[in-house]
A and B are shown apart, each in its own frame.
Chain A
Amino acid sequence: MITKLNVASIMVLNKDQALDFYVNKLGLEKGQDVKQGSYRWLTVRVPGDVTEISLEEPGPPVHDEATAAQLRELISKGALGGLVFKADDIRALYETLKSRGVTDFTQEPTDHFYGTDMGVRDPFGNAIRILQQGKVADKARA
């Protein structure tokens, strides 16, 4: 039986820039940062969480140049996958992100029956959603 999601990955255009965004802006913590030859195994994670998010850059030896170029195009069009996080106080987080200079919001905190969520893009175009499961959702279930 599978017990945990251990590593998720997201494609980025630049690992240094990604690390800065995911750690210094979004508030995740750095996990692994290991050089193996020319490959840099770089992960971030929600503080205290076990799931590592691997930041992957298209390119050799995993991808040939043509494939890497296609992937970079898709990333910048926002056409590859994204990440969904949970937060405890989404409106406070929204203010924090703004104060850290984040501008690329796709949605301000918005209430739904299942809670309150917001959307932001990473510097490359990947969609990030953040959800606070709310009282509205709890009431609906009761």
Chain B
Amino acid sequence: MSREVEDLNRRLLRARDAMDRFYAEPLDVPAVAEVAHLSEAHFIRSFRAAFGETPHRYLQRRRVERSMFLLRETDRSVTDICFDVGFTSRGTFSRTFREIVGEAPSSYRVGNGPMVAPNCYQMWATRPVVAAGVARRSSSFGDAAAATAS
């Protein structure tokens, strides 16, 4: 029994690593489910049980985190950064960024400069949770429900 859980976790972790690695590519949940060798429905359910959020949300937050990194560290345009991190539409990027971070990409850039922590620590520790104050308005990320429940 325990062996099965460990094996499943390990495959889910491998799928999560794939999102951290290939977020810039046109990656979607069915492709990530394949990394874990699970059906899409089983994958989504198991991933959520193991990591506390859906794979879609994990990937969105990784993409937003990487866009925050590029906004802080580079002079690339917001549109370029949107496509750099794997979003395919500027509208979805702006809406998702605002939902998670609580402000627009351009204003985030104005308020934040480069960090000194190594990149791996930034990826590990700065993947954003939904900003305070926007959770109530956010719907597609499910945090409002979680916040109400807790």
Q: Which residues of A contact B (CB under 8 A)?
A: 13, 69, 72-73, 75-78, 104-107, 110, 112, 114, 117, 119, 121, 124-125, 129, 131
Contact = CB atoms under 8 A, between A and B. Distances in A.
A112 B118 contact: yes
A27 B10 CA distance: 23
A76 B14 CA distance: 10
Give the contact-size bracket for chain B.
Answer: 10 to 19
B9 A114 contact: no
A9 B2 CA distance: 23
Interface string B64-98: 00000000000000000000000000000000000
A13 B6 contact: yes
Contacts of B50: 77
Q: Is the interface of A mostly helix, strand, loop or mixed?
A: mixed
Interface string B17-32: 1001100000000000
A78 B19 CA distance: 14
B12 A77 contact: yes
Contacts of B6: 13, 72-73, 75-76
B37 to A, nearest CB: 14
B51 to A, nearest CB: 7
Q: Is the interface of B mostly helix, strand, loop or mixed?
A: helix
A102 to B, nearest CB: 13
Contact of A76 (B13, B51, B118, B120): B13
B119 A77 contact: no
B119 A78 contact: no
A12 B9 CA distance: 14
B149 interface: no
Contacts of A106: 17, 20-21
Which A-B residue pairs are the 7 nearest by beta carbons? Answer: A76-B9, A76-B6, A78-B13, A76-B10, A77-B9, A106-B17, A112-B119
A77 B51 contact: yes
Contact of A125 (B2, B13, B119): B13
